[in-house]
Amino acid sequence: MACLQTCLKSLASTLPSGLAHEIILVDDGSTDGTREFLQGLALPYVVLRQDRPLGYTASVNRAARIARGQYLALLDDSVVLQPGWLEPLLAAFAREPRAGVVGNIQVHADTLQVEHAGIEFQQGGYPVPRRESIQTMQASGAWLTVPAVATTCCLVSRDWFVRSGGFDEGYRHGFAAFDLCLRAREDGLVNLLATASVVRHGSALPGHRESHEYRDARRFLDRWQPRTLALEQERTFAEARAQAATLARRYLAPLHRRLGLGSRALRRQHRAALAAVQRARFNQTRPIRIGVDLLRMAPGGANGGIKPLLFAFLAEMGRQRGAAFNFAVFAPESLRSELAPVLRPGDYLLVPSDTALGVSRRTTAAWRPDGTMNSDANVAAQAGLDVLYTPFTVSRFHQPGLPWVSLAVDLLHRDLPSALPVEEVNFRHDCFSRMAAGASYIQCLTRHGIERLSHHYGVHPARCFHTYIPAQSRLPSAAPSVPPAPIPAGPFFFYPANFWPHKNHEALLAAYRIYATAAGSRAWPLVCTGAPDRRMELIREMTLGLGLGDRVIFPGHLDDAAFAALWSQAGALVFASLHEGFGIPLLEAMSFGVPIIAGDLPVIREVAGEAFLPVDTRNPQALAEAMRRLAIRENLRADLAARGRARLAAFSLSLEAGRLAHFLEAAARRQSP
Strand order, beta sheet including 526-529: 552-556, 526-529, 493-496, 572-575, 596-599, 613-615
Say if residue 259's pLDDT is above 60: no
Q: How far apart are CA 334 and CA 298, in angstroms?
A: 8
- The pLDDT value recorded for residue 309 is 86
Say if residue 248's pLDDT is above 70: no
Identify residue 390 by its one-letter amino acid code: T
Q: 22-57, pLDDT tens digit by residue?
A: 999 998 888 777 788 888 888 898 998 888 888 889
Domains 2-208 and 288-470+657-668 share a fold: no
pLDDT band at residue 207 under the 50/70/90 scheme: very low
Query: How large is the average pLDDT for residues 249-260?
Result: 58
User: Which stretches of 60-136 are assigned E, i.e. beta strand?
Assistant: 71-75, 79-80, 99-108, 114-116, 119-122, 126-129
pLDDT band at residue 236 under the 50/70/90 scheme: confident
**DSSP characters over 528-547:** EE----HHHHHHHHHHHHTT
Closest C-alpha among 150, 57, 60, 146 to residue 107: 150
Under 8 Å between Cβ of 387 and 402: yes
- The pLDDT value recorded for residue 657 is 94
- The pLDDT value recorded for residue 355 is 78
- The pLDDT value recorded for residue 436 is 96
Query: How large is the average pLDDT for residues 180-192?
Result: 94
What 461-466 contacts at long range (C-beta under 8 Å, 24+ apart), as own/partner pairs, is 461/223, 462/223, 462/224, 462/225, 462/226, 462/227, 462/673, 463/226, 463/439, 463/672, 463/673, 465/186, 465/441, 465/659, 465/663
Task: For residue 523, count other CB atoms closer than 10 A to its CB.
Answer: 19
Comparing 43 with 210, the larger pLDDT belongs to 43
Domain segments of the chain: what residues? 2-208, 237-285, 288-470+657-668, 473-651
- The pLDDT value recorded for residue 37 is 86
Query: How large is the average pLDDT for residues 173-178?
Result: 89
Q: What angle do CA 639, 644, 649 make, to 5 degrees?
A: 135
- The pLDDT value recorded for residue 533 is 92
Comparing 246 with 341, the larger pLDDT belongs to 341
Under CATH, what is the fold of the domain 288-470+657-668?
Rossmann fold (3.40.50)
Q: Does the model's pTM come out above 0.75?
A: yes
User: Please, how many CA atoms are within 13 Å of residue 408, restricted to the half-sphere of its CB?
Assistant: 34
3-state DSSP percent of the chain in helix, strand and coil, to 5: 45, 20, 35
Angle between helices 584-591 and 560-569 (to 10 degrees): 60
Q: 424-468, pLDDT tens digit by residue?
A: 999 999 999 999 999 999 999 999 999 999 999 999 988 999 999
- The pLDDT value recorded for residue 592 is 95
Percent of the chain exceeding pLDDT 90 equals 67
Q: 267-291, pLDDT tens digit by residue?
A: 566 566 666 556 555 555 689 999 9
Identify residue 651 by its one-letter amino acid code: F
Find the length of the chain. 673
Class of 2-208 per CATH?
A: alpha beta
Highest mean pLDDT among 1-15, 111-125, 474-488, 496-510: 496-510
- The pLDDT value recorded for residue 205 is 43
Please report the sign of the dihedral spanned by the C-alpha atoms of residue 115, residue 116, residue 120, residue 125: positive
- The pLDDT value recorded for residue 202 is 75
Q: What angle do CA 114, 191, 133 make, to 5 degrees?
A: 20
Measured between alpha carbons, how far is residue 606 from residues 308, 527, 586, 603, 650 in Å? Answer: 20, 26, 11, 5, 11
Query: How large is the average pLDDT for residues 625-645?
Result: 97
Beta-sheet pairing, 552-556 with 572-575: unpaired
pLDDT band at residue 372 under the 50/70/90 scheme: confident
Mean pLDDT (the chain, rounded): 89
Percent of the chain exceeding pLDDT 70 equals 90
Under CATH, what is the fold of the domain 473-651?
Rossmann fold (3.40.50)
